[in-house]
Amino acid sequence: MVSKTVTIKNATGLHLRPAGLFCKTAMMFDSNIHVEKIIESDRMQSFSNAKSVLSILGACIKHGDSIIISCEGHDEVEALEAMVKIVEDGLGE
């Protein structure tokens, strides 16, 4: 399993269009990909399935929120690189 913490940069957070792009990217990989939203420095929200738009929308991830993207599977390194890149590139906005 590999993971990385990233901060949401786009002004609108993960609303429907960016969440769809995020999930579409996750679905390109066989690995299980999950997202944790950091609520406080030591506490985290439960896992969200990165391949489910409803799960991502339900996490209410907004601009400036930090998330941990975790990938597990045979293509986990490539999956993590792609997921981090899409977030760092502003999720298409």
Note the pLDDT of residue 90.
86
Note the pLDDT of residue 50.
94
- The residues annotated as belonging to the active site are 15
Note the pLDDT of residue 33.
96
* Contact predicate 30/58, CB 8 Å: no
Note the pLDDT of residue 68.
93
Q: With a cut of 50, which residues of the chain have pLDDT below it? A: none
Nearest alpha-carbon partner for 61 in 45, 42, 78:
45
Overall pTM surpassing 0.95 (yes/no): no
Q: At 85, which helix (H) or strand (E)?
A: helix 76-88
Q: Is 80 exposed, middle or buried (0-12, 13-18, 19+ CB in 10 A)?
A: buried
Q: Is 87 exposed, middle or buried (0-12, 13-18, 19+ CB in 10 A)?
A: buried
Note the pLDDT of residue 47.
73
Domains of the chain: 2-88 (3.30.1340.10)
Note the pLDDT of residue 92.
76
Note the pLDDT of residue 44.
57
Note the pLDDT of residue 80.
97
Note the pLDDT of residue 37.
87
